[in-house]
Structure 1
Amino acid sequence: MSPRREPTMVDPVEFTSYYGRPILKEPAWKQPDVPLYLFLGGAAGSSATMASLATLTGRPGLARVGRLVAAAGASASVVALIHDLGRPERFLHMLRVLKPTSPLSVGSWILAPFSGLAAVSAGSAETGLLRPVGKLAGAAAGVLGPAMCTYTAVLLADTATPSWHEARRHLPVLFAGSAVTSGAGAALLAAPSAELGPVVRAGLVGAVAELAVARHLEHGLGIVSEPYRTGRAGKLMKAARGLTAAGAALSLAARRSKVAAVASGAAYLAAGLCTRFGVYQAGVASAQDPKYVVVPQRERLAQARGD
């Protein structure tokens, strides 16, 4: 005989706050400025590293594309950031002090020198002026490239925004994979077909990492995974998965077909945009609903008590 179910004596919990306002302020950064800043910086970082490796392995066409994308992406990333800040001097003010414990401070000191190095490298290669300086600048930009790909993920995760903070171990991997596919996408669009072998392989590695981590974000973070798979963010993340998979599949024919290369590159770049906008929107949604703050807090308290 099964035990009799006790009647529920209280209504289902509704997570509300004073005056119906969210517990957390939603991110105040502007859209599309900040999501574009996240995307452009990642694409620039992976392209700079790709350019350095292409130079070392004797692929001049691929190296040129990488240098140009790195310089253009970094410059556009700075413009997007300054537009979000409102006044150019605010960006300069962030460079007055280097604070290792502040992701924002460290990020500023990654973005500023990287942008300059990428511009010098591309300018020297295109004009033929100061070639030794340009080569050194390109090598230095290539070394900073991985940091450019991932530091923005740390910036998001270092906030109290639930769907970002709870994903702090995974966002850097997602952004790294997405940056690699974005850099590969730009190369697939413009680099010579004969030099695309390493690009295709890098894109496949980035796609696997991006797809695996995106699935974990959508299902492996408990209740704070909900914003990644619902609403506007869910649609963007779903589109990113489809575009990444399509880009990876098309890239397998990229060396034989220019049409496949262009389609693959466009899919990878569109996927990168969708990923950054999706992650950003998921953070906004998680800050708007009190349950994404309250439920994880109660779960942590229950674990601490050994419940």
Structure 2
Amino acid sequence: MVPEADFRSYYGRPVIKSPIWHEPHMPTYLYLGGVSGASALLAAGAHLSGSHRLALTAKLTAAASAAAGAGFLIAELGRPDRFLNMLRVLKPTSPMSIGSWILAAHGTITAAAAGSAITGLLPRLGAAATLAGAVTGPAMATYTGVLVADTAVPAWHEGRRELPFLFAGSALAGAGALAMLATPYAEASPARRAAVLGAVAETAAMEIMLRRLGMHAETYQRGSAGRLVRASRALALAGGAAAAAAEAAKAVPRARRAGRAGRAGRAGRALSTVAGLALTAGALCTRFAVLRAGKASAEDPKYTVVPQRERVTARAASPHREGAEPAPR
């Protein structure tokens, strides 16, 4: 009998090209883009609810993160004109093309909102830009998940269902973290709640993805990517717990805090600081982990060949395949 063929490729070489994205440029851009989008959404909510200090912080964070993210993207591309060339056409079937236009529109909108908030000029235009950020923000926070999934890289393509949700949760946690760090403790309740929600969503999306990926989950569990995933999970859980504790401390009735309000305030601020730093680090770890897992899956031919052969075998065994005789009744 002829032995079953294994998954070898020519001379053990990768079947597909490994992503050429560099560190820290690309993962930092993914982080900053997500933070900018979630911060714009947070700014719109704070603006509508009358939380002016939080709204100002979120507007500045959204604009600064979009500008810095664009700088990291241009550094990754090598020349500024390469980014401008991507804006020459709008191709709805290309996540790269749509993403370029989302980044350009979102960056302009957040810059207008932040500029109006700082200078006090054109307040109506600033308010309109703030509300428009609630539209471009979610797209900015999630399109990068679609971008990496729309490739032949096995660990990314197989995770296409969860990656946008993973990036959205991580972005919300990161935006809430920065808002907590830059906003007075008493006015940062919406930021803390957003951070907790983002941490829960990020952790859940990662767990669901790892359970569904099968053999591709190995790339997120081994090597440097595995270490980063574990660090991201630990930081998200610790940061979310600290943010929830800080919010709970603020919710204690004033009568119970009589005579020790100063101590409670210091404890709350300390917890907010710890939560903000932990969630920021966790969001960064998530982006670096996804990039490294993708590279690992592209460099090992088994992650490309084995699933292909499994799909071919499944189609061959299917009674509904083209040309197959109908099953007897």
Normalised to the residue count of structure 1, the TM-score between the two structures is: 0.94
d(CA) in 2 for partners of 1:188, 1:304: 52
d(CA) in 2 for partners of 1:98, 1:192: 42
Q: Does the CA-based 8 Å contact 1:217-1:228 persist in structure 2?
A: no
Shift of 1:13: 6.4
Say whether residues 1:118 and 2:110 are aligned partners: yes
User: More deviation in 46-55 or 195-204?
Assistant: 195-204
User: More deviation in 106-115 or 188-197?
Assistant: 188-197
User: More deviation in 159-168 or 132-141?
Assistant: 132-141
2:47 paired residue among 49, 55, 66: 55
Partner of 1:156: 148
Say whether residues 1:293 and 2:304 are aligned partners: yes
Partner of 2:179: 187
d(CA) in 2 for partners of 1:226, 1:51: 38
Q: Does the CA-based 8 Å contact 1:67-1:138 persist in structure 2?
A: yes
Equivalent positions of 1:192-231 (< 5 A) are 192-231=184-223
Please, which runs of 5 or more residues in structure 1 have no aligned partner? Answer: 1-7
User: More deviation in 196-205 or 285-294?
Assistant: 196-205
d(CA) in 2 for partners of 1:271, 1:13: 42
**What secondary structure is seen at the aligned counterpart in 1 of 2:207?**
helix
Corresponding letter in the other structure for 1:261: S
d(CA) in 2 for partners of 1:165, 1:80: 24
Moved beyond 3 Å, runs of 4+: 12-15
Partner of 2:9: 17
Say whether residues 1:109 and 2:101 are aligned partners: yes
User: More deviation in 161-170 or 182-191?
Assistant: 182-191
Q: Does the CA-based 8 Å contact 1:188-1:254 persist in structure 2?
A: no
**What secondary structure is seen at the aligned counterpart in 2 of 1:26?**
coil
Partner of 2:123: 131
What RMSD over aligned residues (CA atoms) do the two structures have, in Å? Answer: 1.6
Partner of 2:90: 98
d(CA) in 1 for partners of 2:12, 2:222: 22
Corresponding letter in the other structure for 2:298: A
Please, which runs of 5 or more residues in structure 2 have no aligned partner? Answer: 250-267, 319-329
d(CA) in 2 for partners of 1:284, 1:14: 22
Q: Does the CA-based 8 Å contact 1:161-1:283 persist in structure 2?
A: yes
Shift of 1:121: 0.9
User: More deviation in 210-219 or 257-266?
Assistant: 210-219
2:284 paired residue among 254, 259, 273: 273
- How big is each residue's C-alpha offset from its partner over 1:108-157, in whole Å with a ceiling of 9 and x where there is no partner? 01000101111111111111122222221121122110001100000000
Say whether residues 1:167 and 2:178 are aligned partners: no
Identity of aligned residues (%): 52
Normalised to the residue count of structure 2, the TM-score between the two structures is: 0.87
Corresponding letter in the other structure for 2:303: Y
Shift of 1:9: 8.4
Equivalent positions of 1:29-44 (< 5 A) are 29-44=21-36
Corresponding letter in the other structure for 1:110: I
d(CA) in 2 for partners of 1:149, 1:13: 43
Say whether residues 1:70 and 2:95 are aligned partners: no
Q: Does the CA-based 8 Å contact 1:251-1:261 persist in structure 2?
A: yes
Q: Does the CA-based 8 Å contact 2:36-2:66 persist in structure 1?
A: yes
**What secondary structure is seen at the aligned counterpart in 1 of 2:152?**
coil
Shift of 1:32: 1.1
Q: Does the CA-based 8 Å contact 1:48-1:138 persist in structure 2?
A: yes
Say whether residues 1:264 and 2:263 are aligned partners: no
User: More deviation in 167-176 or 252-261?
Assistant: 252-261
Corresponding letter in the other structure for 2:40: A
**What secondary structure is seen at the aligned counterpart in 1 of 2:245?**
coil
Equivalent pairs counted in the alignment come to: 299
